[in-house]
Structures are given as structure tokens and as C-alpha cells.
Copies of this chain bind each other. A is one copy, B any other.
Amino acid sequence: MRPVVVRNIRRAEAGAASRLAACGVSTVHEAMGRVGLMKSYMRPAWASPAVAGTAVTVLSHPGDNWMLHVAVEQCRPGDILVVGLTADSTDGMFGDLLATSLQARGVVGLIIDAGCRDVSSLREMGFPVWSRAISAKGTVKATLGSVNVPVVCAGALVTPGDVVVADEDGVVVVPAREAGAVATAAEARIANEDSKRARLASGELGLDMYAMREGLAKAGLIYVDNPEDA
């Protein structure tokens, strides 16, 4: 596999990302049939708002952020940078200088399966990052990787141009060609949940609203009064 930078990737249709960000990761994940979720160790570096963007991908070696510098040039407004690694690492491969560069190009955030640093600066700049660790440990620039090849990031496959959605609940990947359909399905779920929420808030039980009682009895659930009271 030769190191390569792929230019002019096909991105998901405009508009899908913002619709998906508004739905949130949990709802989008449900709407996709429960696939595409990154592992739950990916956490926001600061209390940033939810974001979604089209993925520019980087495959890096641990402890080396050379390819992140290369990737900046391939980014357009509305993109989100996604960094996968060839082996586990918590090194701080991303800091405020790279964030300045990405922000200058309109990138909405970073997803990195490694560490980040300069957290207080990132917060002040308003640049959102999801990472597996926070670490002051910097990196070298010695080994090539690739830009805009399919990468595995925190257990999820990301193809360049996919929409990546990130919020407090985690990070989910939506394939580019499904982005519009998933957004529509997610919005439908939200409308449906709003009405359910109102019924539950009024005291109606999920047992009744979802008509679960028959299924539970059939599966063998029994109710007993506290034996200690007997």
C-alpha cells in the first residue's frame, strides 16, 4: 500500500450534514440500523456543540502527525477531519496550530483515534475535537501515511466524503450516498419521539404505550409480591 493523497473526493450532498447534526448521534445511529458508531472511548475534548461534516480522512502512524499537515490542503469548508491510526496511541497528535489552520479553511471539527492537546486554546478558539485521550505528548514528522483513503477510526470504517456526526453521545459515520435518506429517517424518529415524550411525561407507562405486556407474559415474565411480606 503506497502512501497516497487522493484529491477531489466525492462528498455527501450539501445540506445532509447540518440536518444530521440537528438530529444528534443517538438518533442518527438508530435511523441507520445501529451501525457506524465509533467506540465509546471517543469523547469531546471540551463542551463543544454538536457538529457534522464531510470526512477528509487521514491514516497516520502513532506518534507522527506529518500527514495531518498534508491533509489540511485537501479540506474545504464544511469538512471534518478524521484521523485513524495503524496502532493504538494516546499521543497528543493535534494542537492549536493545526486547529488554526483547519479553522482558516472552514473545517468544522476533528475526530482523532489518538490524543489531542492545547485543550484550553481549542476551547477559546471554539474548535471542536473528539479524541480518545488528552495528552501533552507531541509527535514527530517522519513516516508517511495517506490522505483520503478509507480508514478505520475507533472501530468504525470511514470512507472519504462520508458524513461524520459528533456530539456528547459519541461519533457516528453515515455513508455519503445514504446521508439524505438517513437524515429523513432520523427526522421522522424525532417527530415520533416528541409525541411519545409528551405521553410519557403525562404518566402513561411505556409498558402500555408500546403494548409490551402480552409479549412479556408470553416470554415468561411473572409478577410476585415481596416474599418477605408474606
Q: What residues of chain A have their CB less than 8 Å away from a CB belonging to chain B?
A: 1-10, 24-26, 29-30, 32-35, 37, 39-40, 43, 50, 59, 61-64, 66, 69-70, 72-73, 86-92, 95-98, 100-101, 103-105, 115, 117-120, 133-138, 140-144, 148, 150, 152, 155-157, 160, 167-170, 172, 178, 193, 196-197, 200-203, 205-207, 210, 212, 216, 219-229
| Chain B minimum-CB-distance residue to A150 | B157
Docked pose: A149 CA to B62 CA in angstroms: 25
Instruction: Please indicate the chain B residues that have their CB under 8 angstroms from the CB of A229 in the complex.
Output: 8, 10
- How many copies the complex holds: the figure is 6
Contact present for A7 and B72 (CB under 8 Å): no
Known: A26-B92, A205-B73. A226 touches B141 (CB 8 A): no
Contact present for A134 and B169 (CB under 8 Å): yes
Contact present for B6 and A226 (CB under 8 Å): yes
Contact present for B120 and A167 (CB under 8 Å): yes
Contact present for A202 and B104 (CB under 8 Å): yes
Docked pose: A140 CA to B33 CA in angstroms: 11
Instruction: Please indicate the chain B residues that have their CB under 8 angstroms from the CB of A4 in the complex.
Output: 221-224
Contact present for A100 and B40 (CB under 8 Å): no
Contact present for B97 and A223 (CB under 8 Å): no
Contact present for B137 and A86 (CB under 8 Å): yes
Instruction: Please indicate the chain B residues that have their CB under 8 angstroms from the CB of A134 in the complex.
Output: 40, 43, 168-170
Contact present for B142 and A37 (CB under 8 Å): no
Docked pose: A193 CA to B90 CA in angstroms: 23
Instruction: Please indicate the chain B residues that have their CB under 8 angstroms from the CB of A103 in the complex.
Output: 201
Nearest-neighbour CB distance to chain B for A52, whole angstroms, equals: 13
